[in-house]
Amino acid sequence: MAITLVNPTGLPEIDVYRQVSVATGSKLVFIAGQVAWDAEGTTVGEGDLAAQVEQCYLNVGTALAGVGASFDDVAKLTVFVVDWTPDKMPLLLEGISRAAGKMKVTPAPPATLLGVAALDVPEHLVEIEATAVID
């Protein structure tokens, strides 16, 4: 594995991600922001943040698999949520949990969550991009 996830002493331990990733691989993989589209480009879970988060994570997983990688190789995630407020956290975590269960992974790389005014189309509530490192 090219990625080691760490919670250094002196930083808070967060349940859903680690504070630091150390990459030792030789190839960088940049996954474009994934939205809640199925394989045909139809939006999944319109109006349902948890369903869209789940689909975004599944799409990231599909993109990673397409280049021989997995969530174990992800060094960093960036999550963009339309009109983010802290009360949406349970829905975000639910979507992550459902996707993790389907993929049988624990996606816990360092992550940044950003609230945004809008995404590419009005029905998309979340977009997730990933950076991975592989050998």
Q: What is the pLDDT of residue 88?
A: 98
98-113: b (≥16 Cβ within 10 Å) or e:
bbbeebebebbbbbeb
Q: What is the pLDDT of residue 93?
A: 95
In tens digits, the chain (135 residues) has pLDDT values of 688 999 999 999 888 889 999 999 899 999 999 999 999 999 999 999 999 999 999 999 999 999 999 999 999 999 999 999 999 999 999 999 999 999 999 878 999 999 999 999 999 999 999 999 998
Take residue 94 and report the two structure tokens written for it.
Answer: 């639910």
What span, in angstroms and rounded, lies between the C-alpha atoms of 69 and 18?
19
